[in-house]
Amino acid sequence: MHRSRLLLLSSILIGAHTFAQNAPNPGGVQAPTTWMAQEDALSTIGNYHSFNLEQALDASEMDALSLQGSSTVFMVIQPNENPSGTLLFHLGDVAIFDDHVEMRGESMSTELKKGEPTLLTYQIQRPSHYALRTSSSYDVHSSSAFEIGELIIFDGILSREQLRKVNSYLALKYSVTITENDKAQWRDYWTPENGHYWDTRIDRLYKERVIGLGRSDAERFYQTQTVTTKGDALWLSLGSIADEGTMPASTIDDESFVIFSEKDSKVSTASSCRIEDGVAHPLSQWKFQLQNWSSDESTLILRVKSVDRVELKDSLFLYDGTVVQYLPLVGMTDGFWKYEVDLSNLQDFRHYFFTTNPQMECEDESIEVIDNQIVVNERGMSAWDVEVQSLTDGSTVLNRVNGSSTSRFATAGQYVVSILDTNGNYRMMQVVSIGEESVEDIALSGPELKIYPNPIERGREATLEINDLPEMEGDVSITVTDARGRIMSQSEREYSPNIVHPVRLNMPGIYTVIVRQGNSAYSLKHIVRTSN
């Protein structure tokens, strides 16, 4: 007796419009028999409207949904309730429950979660002479219990390469994270041309969430606004903020993308320095990369959920291992902090990180580049590990260190350097760059800054001198932070090319003096010692 077979390939915490058959295809894969998505509805999944599976369909769509022959099915589904074994709907003889999928006696579990979209992919293998013994192509049982963002059906069994591309298209469109898949071959985000939007080899430490903006004509992808769909929300908008479920009107060239990824939760506590009370700026966990970027709009707007430590809101910087760019807070609305990034001066395929510690130096640890050597110091552990990962090809070297310092030569490029304890726990992590410049219009030379005496005994007054400050409208901000990024003092001075400013600190330690002028920031270290 011949039996059909159900293969559940992935269950990943990821009026209807049917796209014409001669239109671009999902993931660039030719050519689905059914491709349904919604363009106008009240509810949304990510920044897209969901659709009602109960609506009237034409005869060809009814036939496709009956899954008479071998088929490959992709869907983005979001439960409105906690999974409890509820039958949601049938597609032919395939039953979709809120915790598993069934077909003719076979059952495969899923990992649906209330309020989070999931990318569900399965293949049905049937004998060529198989006939489905049912007159109903589909049947919705619990329409209020779920939302559907997109439904795609292909005749036959797709190849592994084709499956990856359609999965990647849906994951990036609906902000569904696929990086935690049990099987490594399904974790990458693939382009239609067999490249990567997100690559496990290179981006492995930043896999908690992946979102992006861009355009791909081969797969009918145009996205100028998006939002994370689990955890605290991060919104990205190009040029302006549009209503939820719509896109700002901006021109993007074909195959232009900006990809954001968040630090893995297992290493999220490894920052450039210890985090006070465990509360970090929510953007300090993220990095992004421009990929073939070309657009008439250069302003990227970020809206992120605020945190209790309000002093963090105006202490954000963009860093690529070479150049620091200050990102001032530009707005606060409805519990969100708003920032803007000028993309016009950034380089394609370079990784940019957000930080609140622009000097990347701490009390017990430091990571720096000296004469093309990566120099790592750790004074809190007698034995520890240092990991150096290339952001060019993903190659990684892990070495055990006995002592307080180590160094290694490296070729030109960006590297993520991490300090780990001997149990493999990440203690500190930062990006460094060797032999490269990054942001063309942000000068590394800048004005001349000096502070004296330096070092100085605690409680004594030091003098900060700023000379040859570029002419620019607006006041000059002078901020002093400690090694943990806490603001110790902050002052505003009227613009002058030469400024003299007093600095007095009562506790010993290593401090950072930051001079901000517009979007530029200049800094130097100030050491305060215990009184003799």
- pLDDT confidence band for 76 (50 / 70 / 90): very high
Q: Do domains 365-434 and 448-529 have the same CATH topology?
A: yes
Residue 220 identity: R
Q: Which of 104, 69, 99 is nearest to 82 (CA)?
A: 99
| Structure tokens given for 290 | 């421009």
Domain 448-529 has CATH 2.60.40.10: no
Q: Coil, helix or strand for 257? A: strand
User: H-type helices in 217-347, by residue range?
Assistant: none
Taking only the tens place, the pLDDT of each residue in 222-258 is: 999 999 999 999 999 999 999 999 999 999 999 999 9
Distance CA 510, CA 379 (A): 15
Domain extent listing, the chain: 5-189, 196-355, 365-434, 448-529
CATH class of 365-434: mainly beta
pLDDT value of residue 188: 93
- pLDDT confidence band for 129 (50 / 70 / 90): low
Residue 40 scores a pLDDT above 60: no
Distance CA 50, CA 43 (A): 6
- The dihedral built from the CA positions of residue 108, 111, 114 and 118, taken in this order, carries a sign that is negative
- pLDDT confidence band for 390 (50 / 70 / 90): very high
Average pLDDT, the chain: 83
Q: Enter the pTM of the model.
A: 0.78
Taking only the tens place, the pLDDT of each residue in 396-450 is: 999 999 999 999 888 899 999 999 999 999 988 889 999 854 433 333 346 888 8
pLDDT value of residue 268: 75
Pairing of strands 331-333, 324-327: unpaired
Which residue in the block uniquely carries the two structure tokens 């919705």? 140
pLDDT value of residue 35: 72
Concatenated DSSP letters of 273-330: SPPGGG---GGGGEEEEEES--BS--EEEEEEE--S-GGGTT-EEEE-SS-EEEE---
Percent of the chain whose pLDDT exceeds 70? 83
pLDDT value of residue 257: 98
Which residue in the block uniquely carries the two structure tokens 């059906």? 153
Range with the lowest mean pLDDT among 10-19, 109-118, 471-480, 484-493? 10-19
More reliable by pLDDT, 65 or 290 = 290
Rounded to an integer, the average pLDDT of 371-376 is: 88
Tally Cβ neighbours within 10 Å of residue 339: 20
Kindly state the DSSP code that residue 420 receives in the 8-state scheme: E
Residue 473 scores a pLDDT above 90: no
Q: Give the phi and the psi of residue 194 in degrees, each rounded to 5.
A: 70, 20
Architecture in CATH of 5-189: Sandwich (2.60)
Q: Which of 74, 56, 251 is nearest to 158 (CA)?
A: 74
Which residue in the block uniquely carries the two structure tokens 């957000």? 354
- pLDDT confidence band for 513 (50 / 70 / 90): confident
| Structure tokens given for 161 | 């390469």
- pLDDT confidence band for 273 (50 / 70 / 90): low
Question: Is the bond preceding residue 453 a cis peptide, omega within 30 degrees?
Answer: yes
Q: Which of 216, 146, 205, 154 is nearest to 179 (CA)?
A: 205
CB 455 within 8 A of CB 438: no
